[in-house]
């Protein structure tokens, strides 16, 4: 046996695990595979995970676009009752093959606690989430969609070892499968199967049918007697982030939950490929080390791209340059500009230049926070904390000027991380969320319907494009992120709001007429015969519901007036401006200068 390597304890652990795994397989239940991990072993595995490179993308991009026909069918989501019907059939097939075991009271309690924190819009209808324990299964934990969660008896018993920590581990496993439901991964799989059936019935063009078959083969396994979903890396990452947010909101210890992935990572490093509970739990998805890496970056607020973090504004070059460690000494004031979604610090140069011109040599140091535009807002809030601690000695004397979602990044820093600040100014920040999904639909519709032009769409194009990652989920009006952020009642006495309303009431009426014209054009271009079976009725209903969102009719094209403020904020100024115009609007710049340059 090789000598232990004190500098790489995870290798020692992996080597010893190879022997333990063999013992565990020969004596089922003898080894508590999901028992507690000491802190030093946790840290060693996490460091190893952070060094792990990301693997190649494993999913085919969708939806497919084969003209207006393919687009309209693929974008109209599968109806709730159709997903439920297919999931129920899969569940009945499962229960015919597998013996059902009693659900432990502790497991039922964990699911109940988690479910209570899932927003209504993400609850499977009409059944909600249900948990079934089977005596054996080809996958230790999985979901059939429509809220059906399944776990093997062996796994649930192993996870629950250790009282409270056991419930935390089970919560993470269940929340991950709930995430596949909430993010539509299961529904997408059933949707593709339904599209395959439509293709066989001749309801799709051959080119569209070929795209459907390729997508379905990559997303769904129907070779067995019941369905199994094949997740790409991005889908597993999305489900993991959902699990972290949900467990955190529900009061479970996330670090205990991550021990599931740590144990699985150990099994991977030991070369275990089958038989063990830990290896099996991630056998069909992204490798455990990769998943752990992404969650470690999430929880630690890691900035993993070039030119990210706190920048210092240079008045001479009028550019933001990386801020050096401890470069704002104790007692020195600072103004931190935080850009928003679909933007960058380049859009805040005009504001920084004006503040520099209005300041004397003893004025505040001008900083900017450059962050990843599609990452989790909670992760970026933690990253802001890390950067402020790195650069600013007296953060209680720092003012923050935040555009768009940058204001939510700041609020996580101030309200959740509970870090000090002096004042905060929000420019079009969606405190109550934003309906990016509907805005994206508008752009896609115009892409295919050429005879109706809505001139304002160009103004929201960047916002919608950059809202395609985790930030798009965080900005949903009832997201897990906003539920956590808005749970308490923050002290808003030091908050200031500038918000925009792009169109007046008369223009809003005219825009409403334009949206009806858009509907008529879509109905004209998309033949009634494009949708067969469940798609016929659903596509028509989707077109009928196509309306301009309030973000357009009563907001700045990305954020509504109501969402742009918080209850109790006394200083609220409304301008006739679009979302991206706010950060460079002369009246806003003057207003900000008046606030932050006060003695």
Opening angle at CA 226, ends 225 and 227, nearest 5: 130
**Cβ atoms 394, 332 nearer than 8 A:** yes
Strand partners, 328: 392
pTM of the entire predicted model: 0.87
Q: Which one, of 235, 241, 236, lies nearest residue 254 by Cα?
A: 241
pLDDT tens digits, the chain, 599 residues: what are they? 333 343 333 333 333 333 323 223 222 332 246 777 899 999 999 999 999 988 775 554 444 445 555 555 556 667 888 899 999 999 999 999 899 999 999 999 999 999 999 999 999 988 899 999 999 767 889 999 999 999 999 999 989 987 789 999 999 999 999 999 999 999 888 988 887 887 777 666 666 677 777 778 878 888 777 788 989 888 999 999 999 999 999 999 999 999 999 999 988 888 754 444 444 455 457 899 999 999 999 999 999 877 899 999 999 999 999 999 999 999 999 999 999 987 899 999 999 999 999 998 889 999 999 998 778 999 999 999 999 999 999 999 999 999 999 999 999 999 999 999 999 999 999 999 998 767 766 666 665 555 445 555 555 665 665 556 788 899 999 999 999 999 988 899 999 999 999 887 666 666 666 666 666 666 665 554 454 555 566 666 666 666 777 888 789 888 999 999 999 999 999 999 989 899 999 999 999 999 999 76
CA distance 507 to 576: 12
Q: How far is CA 240 from CA 289, 416, 445, in A?
A: 13, 21, 31
User: What are the structural domain ranges in the chain?
Assistant: 67-300
Give the pairing type, strands 130-134 and 148-152: parallel
CA distance 520 to 155: 53
CA distance 324 to 330: 15
CA distance 465 to 342: 7
Q: Which residue has the tokens 């009028």?
A: 318
């Amino acid at each position: 046996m090789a000598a232990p390597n004190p500098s790489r304890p995870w290798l020692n652990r992996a080597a010893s695990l190879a022997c333990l795994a063999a013992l565990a397989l020969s004596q089922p239940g003898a080894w508590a595979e999901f028992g507690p991990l000491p802190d030093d072993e946790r840290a060693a595995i996490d460091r190893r995970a952070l060094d792990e490179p990301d693997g190649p993308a494993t999913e085919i991009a969708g939806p497919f676009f084969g003209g207006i026909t393919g687009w309209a069918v693929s974008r109209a989501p599968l109806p709730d009752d159709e997903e439920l019907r297919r999931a129920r059939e899969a569940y009945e097939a499962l229960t015919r093959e597998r013996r059902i075991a009693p659900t432990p009271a502790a497991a039922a309690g964990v699911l109940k606690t988690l479910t209570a924190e899932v927003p209504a819009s993400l609850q499977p209808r009409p059944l909600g989430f249900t948990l079934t324990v089977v005596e054996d299964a080809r996958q230790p934990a999985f979901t059939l969609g429509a809220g059906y969660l399944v776990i093997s008896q062996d796994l649930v018993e192993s996870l629950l070892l250790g009282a409270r920590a056991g419930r935390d581990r089970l919560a993470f496993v269940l929340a991950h499968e709930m995430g596949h439901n909430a993010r539509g991964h299961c529904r997408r799989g059933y949707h593709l199967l339904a599209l395959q059936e439509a293709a066989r019935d001749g309801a799709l063009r051959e080119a569209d049918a070929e795209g459907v078959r390729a997508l379905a083969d990559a997303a769904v396994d129907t070779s067995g007697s019941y369905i199994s979903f094949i997740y790409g890396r991005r889908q597993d990452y999305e489900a993991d982030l959902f699990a972290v947010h949900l467990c955190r909101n529900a009061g479970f210890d996330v670090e205990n939950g991550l021990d599931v992935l740590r144990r699985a990572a150990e099994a991977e490093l030991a070369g275990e490929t089958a038989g063990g509970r830990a290896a099996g739990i991630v056998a069909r998805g992204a490798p455990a080390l990769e998943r752990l890496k992404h969650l470690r970056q999430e929880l630690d607020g890691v900035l993993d791209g070039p030119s990210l973090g706190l920048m210092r504004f240079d008045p001479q070059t009028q550019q933001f340059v990386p801020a050096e460690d401890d470069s704002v000494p104790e007692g020195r004031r600072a103004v931190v500009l935080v850009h928003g979604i679909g933007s960058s610090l380049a859009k805040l140069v005009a504001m920084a230049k004006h503040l520099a011109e209005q300041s004397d040599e003893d004025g505040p140091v001008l900083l900017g926070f450059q962050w990843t535009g599609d990452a989790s807002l909670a992760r970026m809030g933690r990253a802001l904390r890390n950067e402020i601690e790195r650069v600013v000695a007296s953060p209680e004397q720092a003012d923050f000027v935040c555009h768009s979602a940058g204001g939510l990044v700041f609020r996580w820093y101030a309200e959740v991380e509970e870090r000090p600040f002096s004042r905060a100014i929000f420019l079009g920040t969606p405190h109550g969320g934003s309906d990016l999904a509907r805005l994206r639909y508008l752009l896609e519709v115009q892409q295919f319907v050429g005879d109706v032009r809505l001139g304002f769409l160009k103004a929201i194009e960047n916002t919608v494009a950059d809202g395609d990652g985790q930030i798009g989920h965080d900005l949903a009006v009832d997201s897990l992120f906003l539920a956590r952020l808005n749970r308490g009642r923050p002290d808003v006495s030091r908050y200031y709001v500038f918000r925009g309303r792009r169109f007046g009431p008369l223009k809003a009426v005219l825009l409403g007429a334009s949206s009806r014209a858009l509907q008529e054009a879509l109905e004209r271009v998309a033949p009634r015969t494009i949708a067969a079976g469940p798609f016929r009725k659903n596509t028509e209903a989707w077109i009928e519901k196509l309306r301009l969102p309030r973000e357009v009719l009563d907001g700045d094209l990305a954020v509504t007036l109501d969402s742009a403020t918080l209850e109790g904020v006394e200083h609220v100024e409304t301008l006739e401006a679009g979302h991206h115009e706010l950060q460079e609007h002369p009246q806003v710049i003057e207003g900000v200068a008046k606030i932050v340059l006060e003695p």
